Amino acid sequence: MHRLVRNTLATVAITGALTAAVAPTAMAVEQVQPATTASQKQAANPSRIKTGDFNNARGILVKAGSKTAEKTHEAHGVKDVPVSHGTSLLAEARDEFRAADRNLPAKDKKSDMSIAHYDAIHKAAKTMGIDTW
């Protein structure tokens, strides 16, 4: 009986030591390579946007009829601008287009705006390299 208790305690101690040794390694691997799902595979926005790309995107939105993009000043005197300038430009135009197109029939809309406005927003976003706004 004494031998059984001693062997059981030894087994528990060894198992605990192995678990403690392996667990941090498993957690480190999990942190280095997190599991990704289809929704997480979306590319991240750049941190900066080239001035020319910002101005081209602004021009696309102005041509599509965005008054907010028209009021936005063109970037000049710098080689790039923060991505927040581009995301704001897109979000304001999106909201403006949705408000303007709210009375269109559903068959003529995509994402609550006309298909032409939707295409212009996405073309401008692609020009700046922005995926989410």
Q: Residue 101: its pLDDT value, please? A: 97
Q: What is the pLDDT of residue 1?
A: 60
One pLDDT digit (tens) per residue for the chain, 133 residues: 666 655 655 565 566 555 555 555 544 444 554 554 444 455 688 899 999 999 999 999 999 999 999 999 999 999 999 999 999 999 999 999 999 999 999 999 999 999 999 999 999 999 999 998 8
In the chain, how long is the greatest CA-to-CA distance? 89
pLDDT number for residue 17? 54
In this prediction, residue 133 carries a pLDDT of 83
In this prediction, residue 36 carries a pLDDT of 47
pLDDT value of residue 20: 54
How confident is the model at residue 40, as a pLDDT? 47
Specify the pLDDT at position 11. 61
